[in-house]
Amino acid sequence: MRDFAVEGMVIMIKKASGLIFLLVVILLCGSLLVAHAVTTDTDADPDDADGNSEEVRDEMPDDDEIPNDETPNDETPDDEIPNDETPNDETPDNEIPDEEIPDEEIPDDEMPDDEESSNLFADYWWAFAIGGGVLVLGGAGFVMLKIKRKKPVIVQAAAPPANNQHPVMIGNLHHIGARESQQDSFGISDISNADLCARKGILGVVADGMGGMADGAETSAIVTRTMLQYFNEAAPSGHPELDLLVMVNAANENINRFMTGREKGGSTVVAVIIHDSKLYWVAVGDSRIYLIRNGAIMQLNREHVYSVELDEKAAAGEISWETAAGDSRREALTSYLGMKNLEKIDRSFSPMQLLDGDRILLMSDGVFGVLTDEEILRTMPHPPQESTMILQEMVLAKQNPHQDNLTAILFEYRRQV
């Protein structure tokens, strides 16, 4: 199972895992350097300076040990008192007042709290560094576990297994066009899962988020994710056409739940199941499903656009053809996923038997809105993946400044011998 709408983000996260690891190492090394710096500062503590002062003071004789008669009379007479000395009648030289106790005699237990904190960090810096590293590594591991997903199935090459016995070959295209964001989404079930293919076949989904509404990218992703999850996890019912109907209704419910409290939004969808050489399909909105057989191209689904109703009214004589053709609402959707009451769902009521070489093409309007059926048909002689790449090149070659997102899946059925 695979959700291609969010695949780019997951790939980017996986590629960034190396950067995350490097960041962790840098943070850990930074913690060690800071701790080392703090330790160095602590080693140069002011107490050392105090100790040195004590040694100097120990070597110096006390003032009361200097005999008065050792001072030459001609240098400093007894009756002359220097400015920096205290007169004898105020404080004799041999008497030190109690309030002038030197700094070194302050007891150790009266050190300021900030010095105690610094010493504590210096003593246990290794614990802080290891703890910080463990927290960072644990957080990074948690993030990686949250984004861990099942191994994705690579379908871009759409190559069959090496034994060339796989009945379906696949190609796809997915391009942003000239838009600022990609609002198309597509998904293909796990073609490498032989058991899944045998029990349920292969599912392909193309969803086109409505660009004129809010959250187009999110709603189209909800469609592909819901349908692929159901196909992958639900027990086979034996009726793929009913399974497709259940998937579409489940996707509609999930979109409505997501849009609660948000602006109006929605998505189109076309989906097919190929199982036991039979085709089942479902469609809502204006995306298309084509069958290419024996050099001819035919649209299978009926689009849910207002132009269909206008043309039917004109054919019934209710309005003129000019009125129908000139109505500005011709391209408006009459059904899409995200409606509260989804009444219009186009689908196959019975399976279509596939013939050898049949091709099934699912497209958003970014493809068929630019290319004619004849142009699409000219790309079909090539292998499926090459055909889709040519389709993309042809669309982009038109150089439409307003080119919509373009997405397509091409299946080719080959009868097993």
When pLDDT is cut at 50, 70 and 90, the band that residue 156 belongs to is: very low
Query: Which pLDDT belongs to residue 211?
Result: 66
Chosen domain end from 146, 181, 205: 146
Residue 300 and residue 206 share a domain: yes
Q: How far apart (Å, rounded) are the C-alpha atoms in residues 206 and 368?
A: 13
pLDDT at 287: 97
Closest-CA residue to 273 (of 227, 305, 319, 327): 227
Distance CA 122, CA 221 (A): 54
pLDDT digits (tens, 9 = 90+) for 88-109: 444 444 444 444 444 444 444 4
| Residue 3: predicted pLDDT | 39
Give me the mean pLDDT over the 210-224 stretch. Answer: 85
Least confident of 36-40, 111-115, 212-216, 254-258: 111-115
Within a domain: residue 1?
no
Average pLDDT, stretch 319-332?
A: 94
Three-state SS for 280? strand
State pLDDT tens for residues 109-140.
Answer: 444 455 554 555 556 566 666 766 656 566 55
Whole-Å CA distances, 62 to 65, 102, 160: 5, 14, 101
pLDDT in the model for residue 383? 96
Mean pLDDT of 244-249: 97
Mean pLDDT of the chain: 76
Residues 125 and 176 in one domain: no
Over range 219-248, report the average pLDDT: 95
Residue 281 sits in a domain of what CATH number? 3.60.40.10
220 lies in some domain: yes
The reply to whether 125 and 206 lie within a common domain is no
Is the same domain home to 133 and 181? no
Nearest alpha-carbon partner for 228 in 196, 204, 195: 204
Token representation of residue 255: 């979109």
Question: Domains in the chain: how many in total?
Answer: 2
Q: What is the pLDDT of residues 22-61, one digit of tens each?
A: 565 566 665 666 555 555 555 544 444 444 444 434 444 4
Say whether both 298 and 383 belong to one domain. yes
Please check the confidence at residue 2 and state whether its pLDDT lies above 60: no
**C-alpha torsion sign, points 296, 301, 303, 308:** positive
Model confidence at 212, pLDDT cuts 50, 70, 90, reads: low
83 and 217, same structural domain? no
- At 175 the pLDDT is 96
Domain assignment present for residue 163? The answer is no
Are 211 and 314 in the same domain? yes
Domain that holds residue 88: 32-146
- Which among 73, 209, 233 has a CA at the least distance from the CA of 150? 233
Does the pLDDT value for residue 160 go beyond 60? no
Residue 96 lies in a domain: yes
Output the pLDDT for position 215: 84
What type of residue is 269? V
pLDDT at residue 328, rounded to an integer = 93
- Are 168 and 414 in contact, with CB atoms under 8 Å apart? yes
- Tens of pLDDT, residues 180-190: 999 999 999 99
Judge if 242 and 194 occupy the same domain.
yes
pLDDT of residue 408: 98
